[in-house]
Amino acid sequence: MRDLWADTLRALGDVLGPHGPAVNAAQSFAPGDYSIHFFLQLAIILLACRVVGWLGQKLLGQPQVVGEMIAGVVLGPSLLGLAFPDLQAAIFPKETRSVLYAGAQLGVGMYMFLVGTTLQLDHFRSKGRSAFAVSMAGILAPFLVAAAITPALLRVPGLFAPGLSQSSATLFLGACIALTAFPMLARIINERGLAGTGLGTLSLTAGAFDDACSWCVLAVVLATFGGGPGIAVLAIGGGVLYAGFLLVFGRRLLAPLGRLVEARGEMSSGVLAVTIMLFCLSAFLMDAIGIHAVFGGFLLGAVMPRGLFAQELKRKVEPLAVVLLLPMFFTYSGLNTRLDMVNSVPLLLIALGILVASILAKFGACWAAARLSGADNRTALGIGALMNARGLMELIIINIGLQKGVIGPTLFSIMVLMAIVTTVMATPLFEVVYGRKARASGELRAVPGAA
């Protein structure tokens, strides 16, 4: 009896260990091991996102999405792994990261697909000049700042890869500073009551263009760093061709789906299956050519039928995408974040300098462009505040830079700090310069759940 009890306890203690062999390796993960970890990870991710998101809303006035981003970092090596390294490694072993990554891409891609279905193209056409001006300013100013500070950063060992040219380093840093947190921006716009407004549409469209340009620049950097020019040609050329095809033919080709939903009065399982299949193909195409799956989802969503079709799609898909899938995206990025790398006064000063330069370049340039385009000062400040958020898109691009050897772990951690600070400051800054007065005057609805 004692042996049975001891053996049971031993089995219980090893429940999160590998139960191979999966591929003729004694300690490799079997398929069942991935399943065990995956469900536990999902439960912990949902709990952390709900708790941190609630605390962020109640204590800091931050939208749920910012709390989810912070929760992802909390679950990674920066906090949980620092305090309880064995526990964190047992819950999130490296062998399971690929499964979590696939779920993360599905979540963020599907969310951006839904955001695309709410995009009011008539608002964009009416504000096209302003959107273009804000977008160009949000791209050019960060690259000028990057050109000014990169020579000094190249002299600090460990920030950039040894032998990286100044031009490649400048392009990469400029792309990082120019990024706007496209998925994060979409969540903030929805949660702040800006969806469908001219300011929300202008900010989202300019942010999408900024991010697309940054990804194209990243393709150029990877090409010069050894990937070959074909990477840049495929990414930029393929992205432009696909976007052009959808804008010219997409609405006409997809209109029958809308008519089927209107005729039936609801979205059937067959129409939903076809819609999700098209989303997966669009996300695959953008991922395969080197842009990112989120742009495939957003572009397809922008040309999907509106009316009852969009309402039914949101009703059926949004709860699962927002509550279950999207938090995986934040957690996966948080698992790759090491904030303890910035551990000296010189590095802290460099981090502070990059932060200040990034805010001035993005916030200042977008505010100035909006003012020159005819926006009043309050609206221009609101646009600048939203465009300054960088969020997890920043983490994606710097993760790629780290994996490809363009930057070192120290610069990676500095850029993570910049991404978190600029994202956390976006909502309160927006409320101060625009949101509060707009809600008081009735221009914007009250934020759901706010006191």
Task: Examine residue 181 and state whether it is found in any structural domain, yes or no.
Answer: yes
Give CA–CA dist 411/254, Å, rounded.
Answer: 44
Mean pLDDT of the chain: 81
Report the pLDDT value the prediction gives residue 443, as an integer from 0 to 100.
66
Q: Sorting pLDDT into bands at 50, 70 and 90, what band is 226?
A: low
The three state secondary structure string of the chain is CHHHHHHHHHHHHCCCCCCCCCCCCCCCCCHHHHHHHHHHHHHHHHHHHHHHHHHHHHHHCCCHHHHHHHHHHHCCCCCHHHHCHHHHHHHCCHHHHHHHHHHHHHHHHHHHHHHHHCCCHHHHHHCHHHHHHHHHHHHHHHHHHHHHHHHHHHCCCCCECCCCCHHHHHHHHHHHHHCCCHHHHHHHHHHCCCCCCHHHHHHHHHHHHHHHHHHHHHHHHHHHHHHCHHHHHHHHHHHHHHHHHHHHHHHHHHHHHHHHHHHHCCCCHHHHHHHHHHHHHHHHHHHHHCCCHHHHHHHHHHCCCCCHHHHHHHHHHHHHHHHHHHHHHHHHHHHCCCHHHCCCHHHHHHHHHHHHHHHHHHHHHHHHHHHHCCCCHHHHHHHHHHHCCCHHHHHHHHHHHHHCCCECHHHHHHHHHHHHHHHHHHHHHHHHHHHHHHHHCCCCCCCCCCC
pLDDT at 18 over 70: no
Decide which of 203 and 55 is more confident.
55
Task: Examine residue 182 and state whether it is found in any structural domain, yes or no.
Answer: yes
Report the pLDDT value the prediction gives residue 35, as an integer from 0 to 100.
83
Give CA–CA dist 111/260, Å, rounded.
Answer: 23
- Overall number of domains in the chain: 1
For residue 351, the enclosing domain spans 95-440
Average pLDDT over residues 433-451: 65
Task: Examine residue 221 and state whether it is found in any structural domain, yes or no.
Answer: yes
Which residues lie below 8 Å from residue 53, measured CB to CB, with a gap of 6+? 64, 65, 66, 67, 68, 71
Average pLDDT over residues 25-42: 76
Task: Examine residue 21 and state whether it is found in any structural domain, yes or no.
Answer: no
pLDDT at 253 over 90: yes
Task: Examine residue 272 and state whether it is found in any structural domain, yes or no.
Answer: yes
Task: Examine residue 115 and state whether it is found in any structural domain, yes or no.
Answer: yes
Task: Examine residue 22 and state whether it is found in any structural domain, yes or no.
Answer: no
- Bridge partners of residue 160, in order along the sequence: 407
Quick one: what percent of the chain has pLDDT higher than 90?
A: 22
Quick: pLDDT tens for 350-388.
Answer: 999 999 999 999 999 989 988 888 778 888 888 888 888
Task: Examine residue 116 and state whether it is found in any structural domain, yes or no.
Answer: yes
Report the pLDDT value the prediction gives residue 372, as an integer from 0 to 100.
86
Quick one: what percent of the chain has pLDDT higher than 70?
A: 86
Average pLDDT over residues 316-322: 89
pLDDT at 429 over 80: yes
CATH number at residue 243: 1.20.1530.20
Phi, psi of 431 (to 5 degrees): -65, -40
